[in-house]
Amino acid sequence: MRMGGASAPPLCFLLLLNEKTFYKMGHFDKLAVTNVLVGGQIKELAVQDAGDAAVTVSDTTRYLNCNADVTASRVVTMPAATRGSAFRAFFSVEQAGNDRVFTCAGSDTFEGNIFTSVAGNAAGDGDVVAIANTTVAITVVDDTNIGSYIDFFCMDEGRWSVIGHLVVDAVGSVPTLA
């Protein structure tokens, strides 16, 4: 392909400078990606704020921003677990007061592991919460610090595979399962 008298560089020569600006053969080009093709379906790249309320995660959400120290236990209802779906729940505010309960839709289940570490503990105290594939609710208890996250991936219809790292204030502040 030729552009302006010169050959276009292959994509491997594009350099990502920040989230939306690419450097290409002496030119800066803006890249505004709002949709991506996932498993043959067009998905909008979206950040959804959880706030201080119960929330249902949209099937187009890529990042769930847990951006409030909730004033009561809040349910986070998952979208249907359809193959190829994925999102990250990210704690951008310390959750010090109450729980967030991630709950499956319909007959979907969770499986995987959530790693926990105690903030400021050089001894490495923490735990691994193993999630059996019969789990339908994950309660992230209070005392979860900024930067903690849980990734949810659907590899098979009806099952959310889970991996995460929560930084907590005490060893006992690990997620509970139902």
Give the model's pLDDT for residue 4. Answer: 52
User: 38, 43, 109, 36: which is closest to 78 by C-alpha?
Assistant: 109
Rounded to the nearest 5 degrees, what angle is found at the Cα of 67, between the Cα atoms of 75 and 132? Answer: 45
Which tens digits make up the pLDDT trace of 119-176? 887 776 789 999 999 999 999 999 999 999 999 999 999 999 999 999 998 888 899 9
CA 111 and chain centroid, separation: 15
Say what the pTM is.
0.75
Residue with tokens 């995660």: 57
Which tens digits make up the pLDDT trace of 9-54? 444 334 444 444 444 444 444 445 556 666 666 656 699 999 999 9
| pLDDT over 90 (residue 64) | yes
Q: How many residues in the chain? A: 178
Question: What are the structural domain ranges in the chain?
Answer: 1-32, 46-177
Q: For residues 17 and 167, give the distance between their C-alpha atoms in angstroms, rounded to a whole number.
A: 30
Q: Which of 27-31, 81-85, 90-94, 116-120 has the lowest mean pLDDT?
A: 27-31
